[in-house]
């Protein structure tokens, strides 16, 4: 495996997990635009082949696969470059920012025959897998709530682990990333106000976890009944319509030191709540709570299927998909379902703002 991007998620999650899976993966090359990270993080993990340019890394190493962890504005370029060289790809969410990029990734995958998988680790948590198997037992679904109000990740990360945050990335590179991101949002939505562009980026980032998991559990909604954003796109609430029930979706990021992400599904006779904790502290388990009325009593069951973290399950699954030639459930077509839903949410938000799409 080669790794593209040695930032926060690579340091806190992926590199430690990969080190725990020596029977499945060997990291032989790393890439980052920060020379300091290449030296300190790459060197710390004993990786001798370090590159500032992922094209050079792909061309000079006989890699089986790459893990794409760089800034999401550049995901599509890195994914396509790997696929064009026959290299399998696990890319962190969001896979990309625009439908045009997504289609280009699909075309590159189909040309190469290599695997592309999107890193939706919440959908690999044992409690989520259990929930997807048990949801049929709830009977008629009446309502669901998808909730993700969290404090900034760094608030929790800084209490638990050291992250090397480099100071040697040129200001020009940062500004180029911002400009590229705004251009990709325009490509996806048209010329929208900055607040709606910010809301779209929140959906592509944090929201992609929630809405992707919702789709696997409940299917794709028929449409968006209502949607609002506030605090410059940092908070979103929406009402999603299914055939015979509704789902509320609420998300935002603040300065509180807590992580509250859950999906709660209300059936006629039973309720299921899937409760996530921050993924940046490994082995905090995802928990499934079910409540069911039986006669005059309410039975409450708390299930913690496994302490293995979702990222480990995800990487084990990716290895299985590649080595067995199978198609992952979180493939590019699955991600396009999210992009379509994000765009619809923004369109509905726009009807209640000064700007129109």
Provide the sign of the torsion angle of the four alpha carbons 129, 102, 152, 17, taken in this order. Answer: positive
Q: Is residue 32 located within the same domain as residue 150?
A: no
Boundary of a domain, candidates 74, 102, 119: 119
- The token pair that represents 21 in the structure block: 């899976």
* Residue range 276-306, pLDDT digits in tens: 999 999 889 999 999 998 889 999 999 999 8
Q: Taking the chain, what is the end-to-end CA distance rounded to the nearest angstrom?
A: 42
- The token pair that represents 208 in the structure block: 């992609």
Total of domains in the chain: 2
* Residue-range definition of the domain harbouring residue 207: 122-309+332-350
Q: Is residue 126 located within the same domain as residue 115?
A: no
Is the per-residue pLDDT at 356 higher than 50?
Answer: no
Q: Is residue 96 located within the same domain as residue 178?
A: no
φ, ψ (nearest 5 deg) of residue 70: -75, 180
Among the listed residues 48, 55, 67, the one whose alpha carbon sits nearest the alpha carbon of residue 5: 67
Residue 249 resides in a domain: yes
355 — pLDDT class (breaks 50, 70, 90): very low
- The pLDDT value given to residue 283: 87
Q: Is residue 203 located within the same domain as residue 339?
A: yes
Residue 320 resides in a domain: no
- The pLDDT value given to residue 234: 94
Q: Is residue 79 located within the same domain as residue 130?
A: no
Q: What is the pTM of this model?
A: 0.94
Where in the chain does DSSP place strands (E)?
2-4, 29-31, 49-51, 65-68, 88-92, 116-119, 141-151, 223-230, 235-241, 246-254, 259-267, 270-276, 287-294, 297-303
φ, ψ (nearest 5 deg) of residue 54: -70, -25
Residue 21 resides in a domain: yes
Q: What is the mean pLDDT of residues 60-74?
A: 95
* Residue range 198-234, pLDDT digits in tens: 999 999 999 999 999 999 999 999 999 999 999 999 9
7 — pLDDT class (breaks 50, 70, 90): very high
Residue tagged 């562009």 (tokens):
197
Q: Is residue 114 located within the same domain as residue 162?
A: no
Residue 316 resides in a domain: no
356 burial level (CB within 10 Å; 0-12, 13-18, 19+): exposed
Note the Cα 114 to chain centre separation in Å: 21
Among the listed residues 92, 125, 97, the one whose alpha carbon sits nearest the alpha carbon of residue 336: 97
* Residue range 246-261, pLDDT digits in tens: 999 999 999 999 999 9
| Percentage with pLDDT > 70 across the chain | 99
Q: Is residue 66 located within the same domain as residue 165?
A: no
Beta strands 65-68 and 49-51: pairing type? unpaired
Provide the sign of the torsion angle of the four alpha carbons 128, 134, 136, 137, taken in this order. Answer: negative
Q: Is residue 135 located within the same domain as residue 106?
A: no
Q: Residue 336 sits in a domain of what CATH number?
A: 3.30.360.10
Q: Is residue 130 located within the same domain as residue 112?
A: no
* Residue range 38-57, pLDDT digits in tens: 999 999 999 999 999 999 99
Residue 183 resides in a domain: yes
φ, ψ (nearest 5 deg) of residue 183: -65, -40
* Residue range 155-213, pLDDT digits in tens: 999 999 999 999 999 999 999 999 999 999 999 999 999 999 999 999 999 999 999 99
Residue 356 resides in a domain: no
Q: What is the mean pLDDT of residues 7-23?
A: 97
Q: Is residue 158 located within the same domain as residue 302?
A: yes
Q: Is residue 19 located within the same domain as residue 114?
A: yes
Residue 80 resides in a domain: yes
Q: Residue 45 sits in a domain of what CATH number?
A: 3.40.50.720
Q: Is residue 163 located within the same domain as residue 29?
A: no
Boundary of a domain, candidates 98, 119, 140: 119
- Cα 315 to Cα 120, 239, 312, 330: the distances in Å are 11, 33, 5, 12
Q: Please report the DSSP string for 45-87 in residue order.
A: TT--EEES-HHHHHHHS--SEEEE-S-GGGHHHHHHHHHTTT-
- The pLDDT value given to residue 263: 98
Residue 318 resides in a domain: no
Is the per-residue pLDDT at 99 higher than 90?
Answer: yes
**Alpha-carbon distance 174 to 126, whole Å?**
37
Is the per-residue pLDDT at 354 higher than 70?
Answer: no
Boundary of a domain, candidates 70, 97, 119: 119
């Amino acid at each position: 495996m080669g790794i593209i991007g040695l930032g926060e998620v690579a340091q806190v999650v992926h590199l430690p997990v990969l080190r725990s899976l020596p029977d499945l993966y060997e990291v032989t090359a790393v890439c980052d635009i920060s020379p300091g990270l290449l030296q300190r993080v790459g060197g710390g993990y004993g990786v001798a082949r370090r590159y500032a340019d992922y094209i050079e890394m792909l061309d000079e190493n006989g890699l089986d696969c790459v893990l794409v962890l760089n800034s999401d504005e550049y995901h599509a370029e890195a994914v396509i470059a790997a696929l064009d060289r026959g290299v399998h790809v696990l890319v962190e969410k969001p896979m990309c920012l625009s439908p045009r990029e997504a289609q280009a990734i699909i075309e590159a995958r189909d040309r190469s025959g290599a695997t592309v998988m999107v890193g939706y680790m919440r959908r690999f948590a044992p409690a989520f897998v259990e929930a997807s198997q048990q949801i049929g037992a709830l009977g008629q679904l009446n309502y669901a709530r998808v909730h993700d109000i969290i404090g900034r990740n760094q608030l929790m990360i800084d209490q638990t682990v050291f992250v090397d945050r480099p100071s040697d990335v040129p200001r020009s590179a940062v500004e180029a990333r911002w400009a590229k991101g705004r251009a990709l949002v325009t490509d996806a939505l048209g010329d929208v106000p900055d607040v709606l562009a910010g809301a779209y980026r929140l959906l592509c980032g944090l929201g992609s976890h929630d809405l992707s998991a919702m789709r696997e559990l409940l299917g794709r909604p028929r449409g968006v009944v209502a949607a609002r954003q506030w605090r410059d796109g940092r908070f979103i609430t929406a009402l999603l319509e299914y055939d015979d029930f509704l789902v509320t979706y609420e998300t935002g990021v603040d300065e509180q030191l807590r992580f509250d992400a859950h999906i709660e599904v209300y059936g006629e006779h039973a309720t299921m709540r899937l409760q996530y904790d921050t993924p940046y502290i490994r082995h905090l388990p995802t928990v499934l709570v079910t409540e069911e009325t039986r006669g005059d009593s309410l039975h409450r069951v708390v299930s913690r299927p496994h302490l293995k973290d979702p990222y480990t399950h995800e990487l084990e699954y990716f290895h299985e998909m590649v080595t067995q030639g199978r198609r992952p459930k979180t493939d590019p077509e699955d991600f396009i379902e999210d992009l379509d839903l994000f765009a619809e949410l923004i369109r509905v938000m726009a009807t209640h703002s000064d700007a129109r799409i």
